[in-house]
Structure 1
């Protein structure tokens, strides 16, 4: 998989992709992540990428020209399965959407900033808009990193234990059950006996029951309350 991210603040994305699972995924050549500085595609000497909104109002708007220049340049090199704009009013990111995107080969992500992007970008270049929640960030960079992480960890070979992703919260519509590790007793706090029993069937039944109960409590709408 290749993920191209367009941003006017590329330094914000150095850390998320430079450590842990995402770094190992790149080192293993399972994914290629390229961050593109939008200002490199501005045509004026000042490398301007934003301007005042027509009609007035507070805040600046990312201009269509540098965004179009960047997108068209990238599209001239390869075909993209999705060109995604990170937007507060986009489709809400969930596990099902992450699963779907993890099957793609080439993805482009545009990070918004200021008051957003010229609407013509969304109308003519974007194939999908995604939000990571009903709140507003200073820019789309952190949201793009969240989306990339959710996708990349699902690619076969990225996680050392590939079954780990299959047992994550929401993969089966339920949140994950409680988990414990050593020691079995700490300051009077103990691990449930069933987990120490070695009885695989009973453990799985316990985990499923706990997942259902936790989902009813924390995500009641997910399984009808």
Structure 2
């Protein structure tokens, strides 16, 4: 842009040193460019590197869980032992105590059948989901693809929550309970969904739950 950076130089403050202080010149007079590099540029670079590492680690975990469901070529390229390992990893990630969303053996069998029944063209995960729904004979594979396509892979929801937080809780309205703050945040975030809800039904339901039932003799 051919714009010369101009950084204002701060006036150097000379402080009297005591006799027991270190006399080495460890506090050198730094130029504005050096101060900008140390206090701003390097800090921003470190934050960017840390954020990228965190994102790639999360995407690596996501790929380990759902990598075999990405597209038809990825699914068809897996051998039987590789497909079995992917199913075991997926099943262990979504198992809760003694229950699970999918059955391990049934999921493995359904995906083996899908490897041979899917068309030869490249199909995305959404197209495979439509194929599974139309076939109506792969219940566990249907659940697996629905979980895969509904899991968020970014932090957009968290960023949206923080952007709404500063609108809800300001310095003029800083004293509120955590329950009220969570409720207002959900209402503000899910504003489009809230517009289609009848408030009269919610009020009547709340009134029926909180109604005082006093019995007078």
Q: Normalising by structure 1, what TM-score?
A: 0.26
More helix as a share of residues: 2
- Whichever of the two has the greater Rg, that structure is 2
More strand as a share of residues: 1
Higher relative contact order (CA 8 A, sep 6+): 1
Q: Normalising by structure 2, what TM-score?
A: 0.26
